[in-house]
Each structure stands twice: as structure tokens, then as C-alpha cells.
């Protein structure tokens, strides 16, 4: 079952004020400059598109000092627990800059009667940035390495009762699994080959009936690997990834292109900017 609920966080405090991934600095080594009014316009357009596509959108207020809170995919992992209750496993962000974001999501969950769980291990976990649902196959793909520690997936297996397929991320430009693997349902996936080791790539090739490769250039310049499927028909993606878009259209998808250039300056795009929850 595909979720219809979306949580976003307002970008009023969005900035690039530290660098924790290869996208946050320019060629001269300076932190990227964000145009905040432009970022707000791009974010509002994405929010309005979600609403237009029938999603129920909730918005968290911006918090001063937490510029990356807009990337609401990262602070938790949504699932339905054994009693059938909507639940979140709370993250432990790798960067100390981002760790204080998590409590705001915990508070929101409690207010919304969503059960929260805490990590049992000492490792890091960055929510649905690394733990991706195949909502149709009812399986989870778990990226690990740059941000998330592999051992957290034992707890995810236990909590969800679902299979978890582990995928090692080997290229720092693809520091979250959601930058390089898109699960579209119906045994279709798009992925960036460079992000995976031999073993991971051959697993993906045999696991899906259709696996399409996302060209490296489009993954880096257009964050094509960060596109979002909303059900079997609709894809929301950063504009400009022509090859990927053509491949999607051949498969019959309806594509909604958006502009996320200000957020790409922080290393994130569409998939990162929302939490799909139950
Ligand atoms: N600046 C943020 C970070 O490095 C970007 C997060 C992007 N989120 C994502 N799900 N890929 O943590």
C-alpha cells in the first residue's frame, strides 16, 4: 500500500552553513550560497504539487539553527508496527549538526498519535534517506556505509517483520540510498551503477524484472536518483534529466518536473524533502 501522507518542513531557516556531503561547497571550496526566497518558492511549488496529486501534506515549522531540517526523509523511518499502528523508528544522525533535528519529529509524532521507537544499537541511522520501502513488494532496501550503520537493520527487520536487502554504498557522492536507488513498484527500479559494489549491482539486476540505469551525469547534475514515485503512475523529479525522463516515459509514467536547485546546493532534492508516512 502506497502512503498518501506527506510531512515537510518549512524552509525559512534553510541554509548551507556547514559541509557534510560533497555537494555543499562550490569549486573554490566555499559553502554554497542559498537564495532563501527562491528556495521558499521552490519548496511551495513542491508542496502544492503534492497536494494537487492527492497527498495529505503536513508542515513542520522551521527551527533556527537547523538548516537541514527541510530534508524530512532523514529523521525517521515510517512503518506499521505488529499491532497495525503507524510508527516511526527515530534516527540518530551521523553529523552532530543534524542530531537535534530528530526531537522535533519525535514531538510531532507523539502529537499525531504515531508510535515512536528508539534505536537499540549505538550506530547511526538516517531514516528513509537510507531505508527505502518497496511498498508493493513489502520489502525494505537498506543502504549503509557513508551515514547509516549496517547493524541498525536487524532492528528494522524485527520491528517490521519484512525482508531487508542490504546495499553497501561505495561512492561518497551517493551518501544516502535515496540518491541512487528509486523503487517504482511493479518490480521496476532505477539505479545509479557507480554507487554500488559488484555484489550490490548484480543483486539489483537479478532482483527486479526491470532495472534501468540512471546516467551518472543526470544523477549528479539533476539528482535523478532522488526522484519520487507516488503510486504506480506518478513521478516527481528535478527537471533536466532527459535520458531518465525518456526511459520513464517509455514505461508509461506521468512525469512532474520541479525545480529544487536551491536544495541541491545542500545535496538534496525531491525524495529528501518529504517524509511519506502511514
Ligand atoms: N545536507 C543534507 C545532508 O547532507 C542533505 C540531506 C539530503 N537528504 C537525503 N535524503 N538524501 O545530510
pLDDT tens, position by position, 156-172 = 999 999 999 999 999 99
Predicted pLDDT at 255: 98
Grid coordinates of 253: 509514467
- Nearest-CA residue for ligand 1 atom 8 is 272
Which ligand 1 atom is at minimum distance from the Cα of 129? 10
The runs of H, that is alpha helices, within 95-197 are 102-111, 152-160
pTM for this model (two decimals)? 0.98
- Structural domains of the chain in order of their starting residue, each with its CATH number: 5-277 (3.75.10.10)
> What integer is the mean pLDDT of 214-240?
98
Determine the Cα–Cα distance for residues 138 and 160; give it in Å rounded to an integer.
10
Determine the Cα–Cα distance for residues 255 and 220; give it in Å rounded to an integer.
19
- Nearest-CA residue for ligand 1 atom 6 is 268
Which of 267, 271, 275, 276 is the pocket-test mutation for ligand 1 (most atoms within 8 Å of CB)? 267
Beta carbons of 40 and 9 less than 8 angstroms apart? no
Determine the Cα–Cα distance for residues 9 and 76; give it in Å rounded to an integer.
13
Ligand 1 is surrounded, with C-beta below 6 A, by 20-21, 68, 71, 73-74, 98, 129, 176, 178-179, 266-268, 272
pLDDT digits (tens, 9 = 90+) for 6-60: 999 999 999 999 999 999 999 999 999 999 999 999 999 999 999 999 999 999 9
Predicted pLDDT at 266: 98
With 0-12 CB in 10 A as exposed, 13-18 as middle and 19+ as buried, what is 108? Answer: buried
Angle, alpha carbons 150-277-175 (nearest 5°): 35
Question: What b/e readout covers 162-176, taking b as 16+ CB neighbours within 10 angstroms?
Answer: eebbebebebebbbb
- Its sign, for the CA torsion 7, 75, 23, 244, is negative
Determine the Cα–Cα distance for residues 124 and 91; give it in Å rounded to an integer.
7
Q: How far is the CA of 83 from the centre of ligand 1 (A)?
A: 32
Predicted pLDDT at 260: 98
pLDDT digits (tens, 9 = 90+) for 95-129: 999 999 999 999 999 999 999 999 999 999 999 99
pLDDT digits (tens, 9 = 90+) for 184-226: 999 999 999 999 999 999 999 999 999 999 999 999 999 999 9
Category of 187 on φ-ψ map: left (φ > 0), alpha (ψ -120 to 50) or beta = left
- Nearest-CA residue for ligand 1 atom 9 is 272
Determine the Cα–Cα distance for residues 269 and 113; give it in Å rounded to an integer.
28
Q: How far is the CA of 147 from the centre of ligand 1 (A)?
A: 10
Predicted pLDDT at 86: 98
- β-sheet bridge partners, residue 141: 132, 165
Angle, alpha carbons 151-165-86 (nearest 5°): 80
Which of 13, 20, 22, 71 is the pocket-test mutation for ligand 1 (most atoms within 8 Å of CB)? 71
Predicted pLDDT at 70: 98
pLDDT digits (tens, 9 = 90+) for 58-88: 999 999 999 999 999 999 999 999 999 999 9
Q: How far is CA 160 from the centre of its chain?
A: 19
Amino acid at each position: 500500500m502506497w502512503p498518501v501522507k506527506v510531512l515537510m518542513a518549512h524552509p525559512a531557516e534553510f541554509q548551507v552553513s556547514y559541509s557534510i556531503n560533497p555537494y555543499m561547497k562550490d569549486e573554490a571550496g566555499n559553502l554554497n550560497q542559498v537564495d532563501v526566497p527562491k528556495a521558499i518558492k521552490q519548496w511551495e511549488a513542491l508542496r502544492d504539487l503534492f497536494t494537487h496529486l492527492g497527498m495529505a501534506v503536513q508542515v513542520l515549522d522551521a527551527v533556527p539553527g537547523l538548516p537541514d531540517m527541510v530534508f524530512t526523509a532523514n529523521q525517521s523511518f515510517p512503518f506499521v508496527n505488529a499491532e497495525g499502528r503507524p510508527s516511526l523508528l527515530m534516527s540518530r544522525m551521523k553529523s552532530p549538526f543534524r542530531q537535534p533535528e530528530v526531537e522535533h519529529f519525535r514531538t510531532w509524532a507523539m502529537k499525531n498519535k504515531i508510535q515512536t521507537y528508539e534505536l537499540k544499537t549505538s550506530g547511526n541511522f538516517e531514516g528513509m534517506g537510507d531505508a527505502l520501502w518497496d511498498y508493493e513488494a513489502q520489502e525494505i532496501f537498506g543502504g549503509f556505509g557513508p551515514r547509516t550503520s549496517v547493524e541498525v537493520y536487524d532492528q528494522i527487520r524485527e520491528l517490521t517483520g519484512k525482508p531487508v536487502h542490504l546495499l553497501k554504498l561505495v561512492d561518497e557522492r551517493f551518501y544516502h540510498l535515496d540518491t541512487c536507488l528509486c523503487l517504482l513498484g511493479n518490480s521496476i527500479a532505477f539505479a545509479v551503477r557507480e554507487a554500488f559494489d559488484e555484489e550490490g549491482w548484480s543483486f539489483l539486476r537479478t532482483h527486479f524484472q526491470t532495472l534501468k540505469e540512471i546516467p551518472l551525469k543526470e544523477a549528479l547534475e539533476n539528482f535523478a536518483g532522488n526522484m519520487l514515485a507516488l503510486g504506480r503512475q506518478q513521478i516527481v523529479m528535478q527537471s533536466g534529466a532527459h535520458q531518465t525522463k525518456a526511459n520513464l516515459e517509455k514505461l508509461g509514467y506521468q512525469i512532474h518536473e520541479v525545480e529544487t536547485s536551491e536544495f541541491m546546493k545542500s545535496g538534496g532534492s525531491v525524495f529528501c524533502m518529504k517524509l511519506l508516512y502511514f
